[in-house]
Amino acid sequence: MTRALLAGVLLLAVLTGCGSGTSASQTIVVYAAASLRGPFTDIGEQFEDANPGASVEFSFAGSSDLVTQLTQGARADVFASADVTNMDKAADAGLLQGPPVNFASNTLTIAVAPGNPKGVTALRDLTRPDIAVVVCAPQVPCGAATRRVERAAAVDLSPASEESSVTDVLNKVTSGQADAGLVYITDAIDAGDKVTAVPFPEAEGLVNTYPIAVLEQSQNPDLATKFVAAVTGEPGQRVLAAAGFTTP
């Protein structure tokens, strides 16, 4: 009886282990730029509905931070960057299973307090001493884009702070810690009536392209490939367009 009981316990352990392995294999982890939080959350929910038993877990942060985490050994199945530069870093590190696919583009705008109380109308206004402006750090895609528009407009900003993601810049503005911030149009749209967006012409010719790729280390490359297809296909593109993204 003891041997039979022990065998039963061992069989249950094996079955439980198999069950947990199957569950894990149906979960993919997606590392995505902070500016993708809203649309990717929606796409993830649609993906799970279309693929019963599948689960998508997201990690949103600045693209440069995500690449650093991946090169240091963090495990994920898909990487979506807010620029080509950080995706190239991932490719150079041998992290990609195949070539990335460009799936969206974005441009900068100036986010200010509702109603624009400081009367900001142009990028040059952000150099005024009475305006505290925040931007993304240079290594972050929105920070690199900021540097490009500064050069295009012949403007030299003196930011009160440089943040590690565009979400952090937006939070500084919405919390009243800054008068203005350079963010993506999509972030200003997502913020709704918490900010007023002030477009400026220099941003129109400086577009950030967003690529996505399956990672070499993916434990479920088939499901990861399906997710990439969902993002680049019609359903995902509809969600992205509704969030203010344009086609690459």
The 10s digit of each residue's pLDDT in 85-125 is: 999 999 999 999 999 999 999 999 999 999 999 999 999 99
- What pLDDT is stored for residue 23 in this prediction? 41
The 10s digit of each residue's pLDDT in 211-246 is: 999 999 999 999 999 999 999 999 999 999 999 999
| Dist CA 65 CA 22 (whole Å) | 30
Mean pLDDT of 165-183: 96
CA of residue 196 relative to chain centroid, distance: 22
| Dist CA 228 CA 63 (whole Å) | 17
Contact 240, 113 (CB under 8 A): no
The 10s digit of each residue's pLDDT in 58-85 is: 999 999 999 999 999 999 999 999 999 9
CA of residue 168 relative to chain centroid, distance: 13
Does the structure show a pLDDT above 60 at 24?
no
What is the SS3 string spanning the chain?
CHHHHHHHHHHHHHHHHHHHHHHHHCEEEEEEEHHHHHHHHHHHHHHHHHCCCCEEEEEEECHHHHHHHHHCCCCCCEEECCCHHHHHHHHHCCCECCCCEEEEEECEEEEECCCCCCCCCCHHHHHCCCCCEEEECCCCHHHHHHHHHHHHHCCCCCCCEEECCHHHHHHHHHCCCCCEEEEEHHHHHHHHHHCEEECCHHHCCCCEEEEEEEECCCCCHHHHHHHHHHHHCHHHHHHHHHCCCECC
Tell whether residue 35 is among the known ligand binding residues.
Answer: yes
* 209 Rama sector, left if φ>0, alpha if ψ -120 to 50, beta otherwise: beta
Residue with tokens 């569950």: 23
- What pLDDT is stored for residue 12 in this prediction? 41
Q: 25 falls in which pLDDT band (50, 70, 90)?
A: low
Tell whether residue 164 is among the known ligand binding residues.
Answer: no
- What pLDDT is stored for residue 15 in this prediction? 35
Contact 227, 47 (CB under 8 A): yes
Rg (CA), the chain: 22
Predicted TM-score of the model (pTM): 0.82
The 10s digit of each residue's pLDDT in 187-199 is: 999 999 999 999 9
- What pLDDT is stored for residue 54 in this prediction? 96
Tell whether residue 210 is among the known ligand binding residues.
Answer: no
| Dist CA 196 CA 117 (whole Å) | 10
- What pLDDT is stored for residue 205 in this prediction? 82
Mean pLDDT of 200-212: 92
Q: What are the chain's domains?
A: 27-105+209-242 (3.40.190.10), 108-203 (3.40.190.10)
- What pLDDT is stored for residue 1 in this prediction? 44
Facing residues of 29 across strands? Answer: 57
Mean pLDDT of 142-157: 93
Tell whether residue 184 is among the known ligand binding residues.
Answer: yes
The 10s digit of each residue's pLDDT in 130-143 is: 999 999 999 999 99
- What pLDDT is stored for residue 19 in this prediction? 38
